[in-house]
C-alpha cells in the first residue's frame, strides 16, 4: 500500500498530519528518510515515524530436507507435518511453496512471503523440478523417448509436458518435470508397469538441496537462491507454457 495510507491507518492520523511528518523527514522506510507519500510499502518494510518503530517484520525463506513419513502441510490431525520440524521463531507464519507426497523425500521450500511463493508455483511458469527415482524393474532407453513425447493421463484427459530422463543405473534415474500433477512420477513409470520404490527431489529451478542437510534439517536460503527462485526459469523443451 502507499506510505501515506499506511501512516494514516497506523497512527490514526489525518492526511495533513501525515504530510507534515513526511515533509519534516520524520518518517523512515528501511532505514532511509521517506518523503514521498506515494512510496509503496509492503508487509516486510521496516517503517519508523518520529523514532517509533511501526512495523518490522522479516521475510523468511527456508530450505528443508523433507524426510519420509511426514505430510507437506502446516498442520495435520493424524501425521507429523513438515512444519513441526522447523524451530524458527516465525514458524507459525510459514507456508509451503509446493508439496511432496508422504513418503517422498528431498527439497521443500517454506516462506512467509506469499508473493515469492506464488512466483515459484504460478501455473504457466514451467519451473523445473528434478527427482531421483529408484524403480523395481530396469529402466530401458524407451522410457526417455516416451517421457520426452509426453504420457497420456486418462483421468485428466491430457498429455504431460515433455520431461527429461537421465538414466544413472539399471533401476535409478533423474527425472526433470515442468509441471506438478497428482502422483505424476509414479503414474509416468506406472505406464511401463514399473513401480517407483523411492522418490527424492534434488532441485527446484537452479536451486539444489544442500548435501549438508540431513533429513529433517533446514537452513535459510542464500540471497542468490532466493533471487534465482523468484526469477523466470527456462521453458520446458517443446512447451509453450505449462502448469506446475
Q: Where are the domains of the chain?
A: 3-55, 59-124+213-234, 128-204
Q: Tens of pLDDT along 86-133?
A: 999 999 999 999 899 999 999 999 999 998 998 888 877 789 999 999
CATH code, 3-55: 3.10.290.10
Q: CB within 8 A of 77, min separation 6: which ones?
A: none
pLDDT beyond 70 at 11: yes
| pLDDT, position 45 | 93
Contacts of 131 (CB under 8 A, 6+ apart): 106, 174, 175, 176, 177, 185, 199, 200, 201, 202
User: 146: exposed, middle or buried (C-beta count within 10 Å: 0-12, 13-18, 19+)?
Assistant: middle
Q: Do domains 59-124+213-234 and 128-204 have the same CATH topology?
A: yes
Within the chain, strands assigned E span: 27-29, 32-33, 47-49, 52-55, 61-66, 95-96, 105-111, 129-135, 152-153, 158-159, 164-169, 172-177, 196-204, 207-208, 218-220
Average pLDDT over residues 181-210: 96
- Using one digit for the tens of pLDDT, what is the confidence trace for 28-85? 999 999 999 999 999 899 999 999 999 988 899 999 999 999 999 888 878 899 999 9
Global pTM value: 0.82
One of 3.40.47.10, 3.30.70.580, 3.30.1540.10, 3.30.1200.10 is the CATH number of 59-124+213-234, namely 3.30.70.580
Q: Angle at Cα 144 formed by Cα 140 and Cα 147, nearest 5°?
A: 125
Q: Indicate the CATH number of 128-204 among 3.30.70.1560, 3.30.70.270, 3.40.50.720, 1.10.3720.10.
A: 3.30.70.1560
- 5 vs 123 pLDDT, higher one: 5
Catalytic annotation, residues: 101
pLDDT band at residue 241 under the 50/70/90 scheme: very low
Amino acid at each position: 500500500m502507499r506510505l501515506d495510507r499506511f501512516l494514516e491507518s497506523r497512527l490514526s492520523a489525518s492526511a495533513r498530519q501525515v504530510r507534515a511528518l513526511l515533509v519534516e523527514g520524520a518518517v523512515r522506510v528501511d532505514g532511509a528518510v521517506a518523503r514521498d507519500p506515494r512510496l509503496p510499502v509492503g508487509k516486510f518494510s521496516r517503517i519508523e515515524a518520529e523514532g517509533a518503530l511501526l512495523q518490522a517484520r522479516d521475510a523468511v525463506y527456508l530450505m528443508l530436507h523433507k524426510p519420509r513419513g511426514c505430510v507437506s502441510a502446516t498442520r495435520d490431525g493424524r501425521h507429523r507435518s513438515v512444519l513441526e520440524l522447523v524451530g524458527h521463531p516465525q514458524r507459525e507464519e510459514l507456508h509451503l511453496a509446493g508439496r511432496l507426497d508422504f513418503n517422498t523425500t528431498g527439497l521443500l521450500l517454506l516462506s512467509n512471503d506469499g508473493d515469492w511463493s506464488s512466483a515459484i508455483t504460478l501455473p504457466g511458469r514451467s519451473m523445473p523440478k528434478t527427482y531421483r527415482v529408484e524403480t523395481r524393474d530396469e529402466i530401458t532407453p524407451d522410457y526417455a523417448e516416451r517421457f520426452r513425447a509426453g504420457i497420456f493421463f486418462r483421468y485428466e484427459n491430457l498429455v504431460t509436458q515433455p520431461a527429461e530422463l537421465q538414466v544413472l543405473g539399471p533401476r535409478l534415474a533423474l527425472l526433470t518435470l515442468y509441471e506438478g500433477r497428482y502422483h505424476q512420477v509414479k503414474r509416468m513409470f506406472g505406464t511401463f508397469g514399473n513401480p517407483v520404490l523411492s522418490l527424492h527431489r534434488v532441485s527446484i529451478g537452479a536451486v539444489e538441496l544442500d548435501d549438508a542437510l540431513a533429513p529433517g534439517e533446514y537452513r535459510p536460503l542464500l540471497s542468490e537462491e532466493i533471487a534465482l527462485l523468484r526469477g523466470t526459469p527456462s521453458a520446458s523443451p517443446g512447451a509453450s507454457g505449462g502448469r506446475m
